[in-house]
Chains A and B, each alone.
Chain A
Amino acid sequence: MTAPAEDESSVTSARAAPENAPFAAQIGRTIRRNPSLFGMPALLAASLALTVAIHPEFSDFDLQSLAMGAMPLAFAAAAQTAVVISGGIDLSIGSAMAVANVLAASTMEGRSFGESLVLAVLVLIAGAAIGALNGLIVVLSRVPDVVATLTSGFIWGGVALLILEKPGGGAPPEFLDLGAGTFITTWLPNALILLVIAVAAIWIPLRRSKLGLQIYAIGSDRVAAFRSGVNVERTRFASYIFSGLFSAIGGLGLTMTTGIGAPLAGVYYTLSGLAAVVVGGVSLAGGRGGMAGPVIAAFVLTLIPTDLIFLNIDPNFGQVIQGTLIVVIVMIGGFVAMARARK
């Protein structure tokens, strides 16, 4: 089909926006592109407000309990986010956390602070190794990652039981203090500082790097990424290493906040970490989102049993509410997506 020369298609006249768009327009675009960046903090603020309303004597001690309770979940959420953004899923995070937890608690018992720090580094390396093994399994076995990580989680659970059959172990009090104490002020728990520093130190450089770009790329469109020269398998492998690393930090966090190692501790964190990712606005399809949403969502989810305790309601309802919350949120999300697509 040939057209007369004067016909100018809309293609070339569109998108002539110069790079230096006005500041307001750039802000507007950032908000539109990252809705969870503004929605999640708002939700957290609302939840905190609710909590304080229920329990006006909300003290710095309560804040510490909240931070200590949410911190491991936040790391589980971070671990899951790293994999979900690459388009995969990791159902073994809880078990990896448990392995890190019992590894730390069993080796650190009765040691000095210095030794415990060295051991902590070794645990981190072990976590990355677990992640690497997960990655190898997912990539080499060709089994879909849901099944592969469900199974590998089972295996890591066995490993955790092997290391420590029953809850026990310990760590030097200075080490525990890193997560359970307050160095700067009682209103700024260490758990919070540790969380922010650890996530930022790992995620921000990663996100800026080419590997980070590759992780987002394969999550967004695997074929296009492949054709653009990305080594898809290597990138998937890498995302699982980061998952293992975050899980290990989470496991160390568990040691700090509980003081012991518990081989079955992880069971809760796999599913709840995934819940935090969903609630935090990261699409399970991959390619989009960041750490902020899921990490904040971890706090929101932890506030639920807290609020229940303040309301003198049976905290066991906590799990019911968390599960129901996930169900309701995803159903609303699905409904909204459908309504929009109906146009």
Chain B
Amino acid sequence: MTESAKTSSSRVAPGMTAGGVASFLRSQTIFVLILLLVAFVLGIEIARPGTVNRTWLTNMVLFAAPLGIMAGGQTLVMLTGGIDLSVASVATAAAYLMATHSVLGGVTAVVWGMGVGLSVGLINGVGIALLRVQPLVMTLGTGLMTEGMLVVYSQKMMAEGPHVPPFIEALGSGKYLGVIPNDLVLWAPVTIAIIFVLRRTGYGRLLYAIGDNQEACHLSGIRVWRVLLVNYIVCGLLAAAAGLVIVGAVDAADLSLADVYLLPSVAAVIIGGTSIFGGRGGYSGTIVGALILTVLNSILTLLDAPEPIRQILYGAIILLLASAYTRLTD
């Protein structure tokens, strides 16, 4: 038996075996996700003919945008193997702070809102990047802290109530020419920026590298803390931006405004193909994941079932999707 080493190529079995299909899916998961999305949409149309019209479709994008923006920051963080559980509190606090400062003018108000994202992101970054605290615990703490501070602050602000400026309202719920959601003005550049950064820039490469093996990065001369610090700040800023869009849609600065966005922000990333351990994934999957979740929400609303049942179904379907995805790609 004199086989040279090179013939090990024949050990890779050709053809459409189950393994072959699985590995194709693994590398082209975005197609599966889009198929799934289309399936959901068709499902609605079949169940309730006439639902899927132009208004509904644009509404889907409109409502998915803030989730997509928040999940964008979550994607960046999860690529490095971390997680940010403070995004919901940051979004709510940013919205509230913006609203209570709206008397000072639109721009100032937005600056105040984004400032929340910057500060909390900075604290998260210092703890996680510099002091090596686990991201789960750190962001849990800052989330609690932010929520608590917001409650105290809101009581101080009882006198001058929060007010949502009109341009935010337009951003969050308006549509250009009745067709294009205004918040796409924010989401589209965010999408382009994130995808570009992840694919074509050194920073993006580093996110994947750090998520895969921090020690390897360190040994290759990379100062990991710098990247992580910036990353958590960016995530905080994106969460704040998402909050501004949400409050525009809801038009009332509530203290639990963005609570319902925490789970979906993580779920969209997971369903979209990014591993929670870091090192692989991307934002395009997250976008489809966000759309899927938004459509799912719409399906459940249309079902006219009571709120608790909807909640249960939502969670169960997310579990199924995440599980199917994890099994497919392992």
Listed in ascending order, the chain A residues whose CB lies under 8 Å from chain B are 89, 137, 140-144, 146-148, 150-152, 154-155, 157-162, 165, 271-272, 274-275, 278, 284, 314, 316-324, 326-327, 330-331, 333-335, 337-338
Contacts and interface: CB of A to CB of B under 8 A. Distances in A.
Chain B interface helix/strand/loop/mixed: helix
Nearest to B132: A334
B315 A317 contact: no
A324 B145 contact: yes
A142 B326 contact: yes
23 contacts: A141-B319, A142-B323, A143-B322, A146-B266, A147-B267, A147-B270, A151-B322, A154-B318, A158-B310, A158-B314, A161-B308, A162-B306, A275-B141, A314-B155, A316-B148, A320-B152, A323-B148, A326-B145, A330-B127, A330-B137, A330-B141, A331-B138, A334-B133
A272 to B, nearest CB: 8
A89 B123 contact: no
A147 B148 contact: no
A334 B310 CA distance: 41
B322 A331 contact: no
A142 B327 contact: yes
Contacts of B312: 155, 158-159, 162
A314 B142 CA distance: 20
Contact of A143 (B127, B151, B323): B323
B276 A331 contact: no
Interface in B40-89: 83
B143 interface: yes
A8 B247 CA distance: 74
Contacts, number: 147
B276 A146 contact: yes
Given A151-B319, A334-B132, 10 more contacts: A141-B327, A142-B323, A143-B323, A147-B266, A147-B267, A154-B315, A155-B312, A157-B311, A159-B312, A320-B145
B127 A150 contact: no
B16 interface: no
A154 B314 contact: yes
Residue in B134, B306, B315 whose Cβ sees the most chain A Cβ within 10 Å: B315
A289 to B, nearest CB: 15
B290 to A, nearest CB: 16
B145 to A, nearest CB: 3
A331 B276 CA distance: 23
B309 interface: yes
Interface residues of B, number: 47
Residue in A160, A161, A275 whose Cβ sees the most chain B Cβ within 10 Å: A161
Contacts of A274: 137, 140
Given A141-B323, A143-B319, A161 B307 contact: yes
B142 A323 contact: yes
Contacts of B137: 274, 278, 284, 326, 330
B276 A144 contact: yes
A158 B311 contact: yes
A334 B127 contact: yes
A19 B136 CA distance: 41
Contacts of B39: none
Contacts of A321: 148
Nearest to B323: A141
B267 A161 contact: no
Given A146-B136, A334-B132, A323 B316 contact: no
A333 B133 contact: yes
Residue in B140, B152, B270 whose Cβ sees the most chain A Cβ within 10 Å: B140
A274 B138 CA distance: 11
A327 B85 CA distance: 13
A326 B270 CA distance: 27
Contacts of B314: 154, 158
A266 B324 CA distance: 29
A161 B137 CA distance: 28
B131 interface: yes
Interface string B230-266: 0000000000000000000000000000000001001
Contacts of A160: 308
B140 A326 contact: yes
Sorted nearest first, the 10 A-B pairs with minimum C-beta distance are A323-B145, A158-B311, A323-B144, A319-B148, A320-B148, A141-B323, A334-B131, A326-B141, A161-B308, A155-B315
B133 A331 contact: yes
Contacts of B322: 141, 143, 147-148, 151
A154 B261 CA distance: 12
A131 to B, nearest CB: 16
Nearest to B138: A330
Residue in A143, A146, A148 whose Cβ sees the most chain B Cβ within 10 Å: A143
A237 to B, nearest CB: 16
B31 interface: no
Contacts of B266: 146-147, 150
B311 A319 contact: no
B277 interface: yes
Interface string B115-133: 0000000010011000111
Contacts of B277: 144
B1 to A, nearest CB: 34
A115 B99 CA distance: 52
B3 interface: no
B147 interface: yes
B148 A317 contact: yes
A162 B323 CA distance: 25
Contact of B148 (A150, A284, A318): A318
